[in-house]
Amino acid sequence: MATGTIWFVGAGPGDPDLITVKGRRLLEQAGAILFAGSLVDQAATLYAPQSCAIRDSKDMTLEQMGAWLIDAAARSETVVRLQTGDPGLYGALVEMTRLLDAANVPWKVVPGVSSALAAAAAAGETLTLPEVTQTVILTRVAGRTPMPRGEELDALAAHHTTLCIFLSITLLHEVQDALRRAGWAEDAPMLVVHKASWPDEEKVVRGTLADIKKKCQAEKIASQAMIIASPALGARDWPEIARSKLYDPAFSHRFRRASTETTS
């Protein structure tokens, strides 16, 4: 009979300091940790106690991971499955938790910082901007995992809003083709961030739809990269931007009355 709880903890994008306080606390008290070694920096496991059983999952199948977690829960009160970014984004969360449900093993989820957010932060960019884009689409292009009908990248790109494209750097040419089919201009700004937040390994590449692939090739970026296409990229260098209504002196809300104050 299992006695412990399995916690799916988002490790964040790579920097161990970006794990949540709750996630770190769980690591510090864990009796067993199964971490995604191909994606999660091993430094994240440094928070574990010396007596903790630690296993890298990069060579394991789904069934092997499920068996390991179930066995660990029979031995430890707190078991952590440490995953890159947030467990709910491309993390096979449902596949693993179905196995735990079938074995009557309790589990919970601790969210983590997504690489999409870390990439924007690394570049000093915003994903939304008043009167430019108020929508962010998190997606990928089809590879060995097909896309559901209606979620092809060109269909999503037709909205001309912010696109955060995961798991697709080796298919960057397909990303370019899809954006072109959706009517994006050749000079549309694009951003690629490799290993966002990873100490001494992060690379930020800025370009356009026309040249982003060549720039990534020059930087030898072929894995673990976030692709961002957005009409808001580079906005801090624009001559003017629309102001947020929340902070506009002429805008009233329940905490502040409108005034005639102006900014220089």
By residue range, what is the domain housing residue 128? 115-234
pLDDT at 84: 93
Residue 218 belongs to domain with CATH number: 3.30.950.10
Q: How many structural domains compose the chain? A: 2
Contacts for 200 with CB less than 8 Å, ≥ 6 apart = none
Percent of the chain residues past pLDDT 70, beyond the cut: 93
Out of 37-51, 162-176, 178-192, which region has the weakest mean confidence (pLDDT)? Answer: 37-51
Question: For 195-209, what is the mean pLDDT?
Answer: 95
Taking the C-alpha atoms of residue 221 and residue 192, their distance in angstroms, rounded to an integer, is: 9
What pLDDT score does 130 carry? Answer: 93
164 and 69 within one domain: no
The fraction of the chain above a pLDDT of 90, given in percent, is 82
Q: Please determine, for residue 256, whether its predicted confidence score (pLDDT) is greater than 80.
A: no
Q: Which of 191-200, 239-248, 255-264 has the highest mean pLDDT?
A: 191-200
pLDDT tens digit string along 210-240? 999 999 999 999 999 999 999 999 999 999 9
The CA R_g of the chain, rounded to the nearest whole Å, is 21
The Cα 172–Cα 205 span in angstroms is: 13
User: What mean pLDDT comes out for the span 138-153?
Assistant: 92
Same domain, 75 and 24: yes
41 inside domain: yes
**Per-residue confidence (pLDDT) for residue 2, from 0 to 100:** 57
Structural domain includes residue 252: no
Residues 28 and 58 in one domain: yes
One domain for residues 99 and 134 = no
Dihedral sign for Cα 80, 82, 85, 88, please.
negative
